Structures are given as structure tokens and as C-alpha cells.
Structure 1
Amino acid sequence: MIQLIELTVNGERHDLAIEPRRLLSDVLRHDLGLTGTHVGCEHGICGACTVLVDGVPARACLMFAAQAEGCEIRTVESLGSGLNDLQRAFSEHHALQCGFCTPGFLMLAEGFLAERPDANEEEIREVVASNLCRCTGYQTIVEAITACAARRRAAR
């Protein structure tokens, strides 16, 4: 059975004919070509597939694409082709190594900082613990997000 859905991804509307069992991560990657959404564990544990759904970080591997109909979805591609302030902070603080987990961390941080712009390092560390990274040990990721938050506060 095929279901017609309308998704808004990174500000662009898409009309899709999909099977109802298709995951959001698969539709983003395979139907829309947005391969920045990485698929790691496929169980919602690693966070590599984190996207923003109506501004809230969500695991795209745990969500059916049909569930996202009517929502605003943002993937890592929404951050732009150049380095935005968060990406720049990740680069400056060496918060990535292999890069596989990076899109998920970027979207997690983007959603968190939008909700909690005055977050301190302890709060950032707690949020970051929800995603897995096997390369960095998290310290540089926490430093990057903390630095970005401070810059955003200073710019307000």
C-alpha cells in the first residue's frame, strides 16, 4: 500500500508516495538525497540520525516519515554549505574526528541552543551524553557547543 505524504524539509515542500512503514531517515537519505543524516545503530541509541522536527531534536531512525507530515524538518544540510557558527566552533575546537556522528551532534546542539541559549557547560554535557561518539571523548564537543553558545549570547 502506498501513502501520499507532504514533508517540509529544510524549508522545501516535498510530495512523496511512500510505503507507510518507511522511516524518516530512509526517506531523507534515499528519496530526498539528504545524506547528511547518518544511520548508525537503527535503534535510536547512537544519535547519528538526529534531525530537528519542529525545532526539537528527534531520531530519524525511530520515526516513520508519515509521522513527520505537517512538521518542519531540518537536517544538517539546513546549516548551509559554508561553515555556520556552530560548525566553525566544532572545527576550532577539533570536535570531530571521523565525522560520522558530527551531523547528529550539530543538529542536537542546534535544537538545544535554540531552546536553551543560556545553557552552561554542565547542561551541555548532559545533553551531549545522549549521542555517541567513539573518537573524541566528548570534551571537545562540549567545548565547541559551549563556545558557540557564548558567541551567540554575546551577539544578542
Structure 2
Amino acid sequence: MEVILNINNKDVKVNISPEDYLVDTLREIGNYSVKRGCDTGSCGLCSVLIDEKPTLSCSYLTVRALGSKILTIEGIEEKAREFAEILSAEGAEQCGFCSPGFIITVIAMKKELNNPSDEEIKEYLAGNLCRCTGYMGQLRAVQKYLGGE
């Protein structure tokens, strides 16, 4: 069926089936920052913002997103670049495969939490896995981005 999705502040016509997952729909139309990782909603690689909330698109049916505002890294490049520079400066950027989902989640956290503790940051990011780094550099980068340092 043909539907219209609001992706990165643009209405986009897409053909979907009722069983299509949002990760596949987004990748089919060129949003390659959204990655397929675990297919179980455990790794965070597929994270996008739906109505400003971080959402795992590998376990979210595309039809559920009708009428919602979907944002990927491609739609928030300036904010993403700002945090990515901090990640790099803190030595937390390695291969970059997990970065889009991680950055999406951190941007959502900045809007949602006010002056979070280290434990609150860790809890918020618990679903974002990175195979390259230890998480200390990422934690320093998040603290700096949120204004904690």
C-alpha cells in the first residue's frame, strides 16, 4: 500500500506492506544511517526519533509510524555533527558503525533529562551497544555534551 511518512521534516510517499519494519523502509528510501544489527531491539543501531522519542526501528512496524514525525541522523545533521566532534575529541569514536543510533539517543536524552547523574546517563544509554570502545570515553563525551563538564 502507498502511504505518506514524515521523514526528516519531509512528506515521503512509500510503498509498504503491513509487516514491514521501519528500519527496512527507511533504508529502502536512502536513510543509510539507520542500521540493522541484532533484529531484537537490543543493540541500538537502528535507533531513530519518532515524535522526539528514541525508538528501535527494527522492532517497530512502519504502519505504526503513520502520522508521526520520524527523524534520522540525516535530518539532524548539525546537532549530530556537534556531538560527533565531542565523541571524537574524547577518544570515543572508533569504527563509527554504532554512532548514528548512539547519537540519536544522546540527542533525545539532552531534551528529556535535566542534569542527569552518571547512573541516569548509563541507564538511558543501556540499549546502545558498541563493540570497539570502552564506555568511559563515551560517558565523558555525553557529560561534556550535556554540559556536565
TM-score normalized by the length of structure 1: 0.88
Q: Secondary structure at the match of 1:108?
A: helix
Q: Is the 8 A contact 1:6 1:69 kept in 2?
A: yes
Partner of 1:60: 57
Task: Report SS of the residue matched to 1:73.
Answer: strand
Structure 2 segments unaligned to the other structure (5+ residues): none
Superposition deviation, residue 125 in structure 1: 1.6
In structure 1, how many angstroms separate the alpha carbons of the residues matched to 2:132 and 2:144?
A: 20
Pairing partner for 1:24 from 22, 25, 38: 22
The match for 1:98 among 86, 90, 95 is 95
Alpha-carbon distance, 1:82 to partner = 8.6
Q: Does 1:143 align with 2:140?
A: yes
In the alignment, structure 1 residue 131 sits paired with structure 2 residue 109: no
Please list, as runs of the form range in 1=range in 2, the aligned pairs for 1:40-51 lying within 5 A after superposition.
40-51=37-48
User: Does structure 2 conserve the Cα–Cα contact (< 8 Å) formed by 1:120 and 1:146?
Assistant: no
- CA distance in 2 between counterparts of 1:105 and 1:113 reads 12
Change (3 A) 1:82 1:125: closer
Letter in 1 for 2:3: I
* Equivalent of residue 7 in structure 1, options 5, 11, 14: 5
Measured after TM superposition, the shift of residue 42 of structure 1 is 1.0
Secondary structure class of the residue paired with 1:84: helix
Counterpart of 1:34 in structure 2 is: 31
Report matched runs for 1:86-125 at 5 Å.
86-125=83-122
Could you tell me how far 1:81 is from its partner in structure 2? 6.5
State the TM-score, normalizing by the size of structure 2: 0.92
Report % sequence identity. 34
Q: Secondary structure at the match of 2:147?
A: helix
Deviations 1:37-90 (A, max 9, x none): 111011111110000100100000001111101111111112226963212211
- Report the 3-state secondary structure (helix = DSSP H, G, I; strand = E; otherwise coil) of the residue aligned with 2:131: coil
Structure 1 moving runs of 4+ over 6 Å: none
RMSD (Å) for aligned C-alpha atoms: 1.8
Contact (CA 8 Å) 1:57, 1:108: kept in 2 or not?
A: yes
